[in-house]
């Protein structure tokens, strides 16, 4: 080796689920329905409007998009957040990276509870942050004695919890989220002799799929200025190809992440496409309701086959338990159905597809079982 690659990257493989060209792709939790013709028309008009000024850098602070995202959060969760309290970047992955760049790094800790999203570990590694993953209970919910002990032991700069959690589908109740917000007050690193708060990030990438009666953690923001709720247009919104994620939080947190963002990080086309897509959010919500129903039926069906299936508030289902999950995965793939080997040993994850994809997945699994 003659290049000065950081030692911690020496044996690392670039992250990513297989991108295979098979008929039924249910492995990365995308919305399976392509954008409607009316959405495509709006997007084309929006992009046409910005093209004549493409010689200029884009609007650095993208206030129009932040206002549209705030408006969407009001429609979706009934919570009012001023546009100045919204931040966005190229996917919620970049939003998270901004948070780590501002609050974590050398000598600081990012805490989460596994099984959970494998990217959290990578953000920590890439920012030189100490990564600590506690565990979840057998039903994938949090054990609050363990959570409290880990917070006290590690004094994390950031505690990140996906709700609904990937790959288990487990959502936090509002009471649990509130308890976490209480536990993270004054539990962060001691700076200048005084304890700081741990930034509590609730990653609601799958928030729109939560079941009736589970409020969004957005409702806690006004009460807890150290809480961040992140969202994305990649999942429910059906715009994974766009790369647009965002969070809502206190103004101070937005002010802090602005110090680390790259110049003009959101391109003019990204802003235009996101704005155009957001203008169709109402139609999208009815599609999400359909996917939720598909998910609930899928859980019931998998259980009827005698499988162990985690309760899901997301657009995917974790099921098992297989003595050889790699075999089940491969035999489904032979039948043109791509799912994901992820989560605890013996389990597989399948994303909610279109009605036709759902039927093909079930037919293939019946053959394999």
Ligand X SMILES: *Cc1c(COP(=O)(O)O)cnc(C)c1O
Q: Site residues (CB under 6 A) for ligand X?
A: 29, 91-93, 117, 162, 166, 203, 205, 232, 234-235, 245
Nearest to 101 by CA among 128, 122, 121: 128
Q: Given the complex with ligand X, which of 22 and 28 has the nearer CB atom? A: 28
Q: How far is the CB of 269 from ligand X (least distance, A)?
A: 17
Q: How far is the CB of 164 from ligand X (least distance, A)?
A: 8
Looking at the Cβ atoms of 118 and 297, the one nearer to ligand X is 118
Closest to ligand X by CB, 42 or 168 = 168
Residue at shortest CB range from ligand X? 91
CB nearer to ligand X: pick between 29 and 364: 29
Residue 120: count other Cβ atoms within 10 Å of its Cβ.
Answer: 23
State the minimum distance, in angstroms, from the CB of residue 166 to ligand X.
4
Q: Are 339 and 350 a contacting pair, CB within 8 Å?
A: yes
CB of 88 to ligand X, least distance (A): 10
Tell me the C-alpha to C-alpha distance, in Å, between residue 169 and each of 29, 135, 151, 172, 313: 11, 16, 23, 10, 5
DSSP state of 340: B
Distance CA 162, CA 156 (A): 16
Smallest distance, ligand X to C-beta of residue 93, A:
4
Query: Tokens 């990578």 sit at which residue?
Result: 122
Question: Quick one: which of 236, 216, 224 has its CA closest to 79?
Answer: 216
> Would you call 230 helix, strand, or coil by DSSP?
strand
Least distance (Å) between residue 271 CB and ligand X: 16
Tell me whether residue 187 or residue 232 sits nearer to ligand X (CB atom). Answer: 232
- Residue (214 or 331) nearer to ligand X, CB: 214
CA angle 13/16/18 to nearest 5° reads 110
């Amino acid at each position: 080796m003659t290049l000065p690659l950081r030692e911690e990257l020496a044996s690392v493989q670039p992250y990513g689920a297989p991108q295979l060209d098979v008929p039924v792709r249910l492995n990365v939790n995308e919305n399976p329905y392509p954008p409607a013709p009316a959405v495509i028309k709006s997007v084309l008009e929006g992009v046409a409007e910005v093209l004549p000024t493409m010689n200029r850098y884009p609007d650095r602070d993208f206030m129009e998009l932040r206002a549209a995202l705030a408006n969407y959060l009001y429609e979706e969760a009934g919570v009012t957040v001023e546009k100045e309290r919204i931040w966005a970047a190229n996917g919620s992955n970049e939003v998270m990276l901004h948070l780590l760049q501002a609050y974590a790094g050398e000598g600081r800790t990012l805490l989460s509870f596994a099984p959970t999203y494998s990217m959290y570990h990578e953000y920590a590694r890439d920012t030189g942050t100490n990564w600590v993953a506690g565990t979840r209970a057998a039903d994938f919910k949090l054990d609050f004695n363990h959570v409290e002990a880990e917070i006290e032991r590690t004094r994390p700069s950031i505690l990140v919890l996906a709700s609904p959690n990937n790959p288990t589908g487990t959502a936090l109740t509002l009471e649990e989220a509130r308890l976490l917000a209480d536990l993270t007050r004054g539990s962060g690193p001691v700076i200048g002799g005084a304890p700081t708060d741990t930034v509590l990030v609730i990653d609601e990438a799958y928030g729109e799929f939560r079941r009736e009666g589970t409020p969004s953690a957005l409702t806690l923001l006004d009460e807890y200025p150290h809480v961040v709720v992140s969202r994305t247009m990649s999942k429910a919104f059906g715009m994974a190809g766009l790369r647009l994620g965002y969070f809502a939080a206190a103004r101070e947190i937005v002010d802090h992440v602005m110090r680390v963002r790259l110049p003009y990080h959101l391109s003019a086309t990204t802003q235009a496409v996101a704005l155009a897509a957001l203008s169709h959010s109402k139609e999208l919500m009815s599609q999400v309701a359909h996917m939720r129903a598909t998910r609930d039926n899928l859980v019931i069906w998998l259980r009827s086959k005698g499988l162990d299936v985690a309760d899901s508030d997301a657009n995917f289902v974790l099921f098992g338990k297989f003595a050889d999950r790699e075999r089940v995965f491969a035999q489904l793939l032979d039948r043109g159905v791509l799912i994901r080997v992820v989560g605890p040993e013996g389990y597989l994850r399948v994303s909610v597809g279109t009605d036709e994809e759902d039927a093909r997945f079930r037919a293939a699994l019946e053959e394999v079982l």
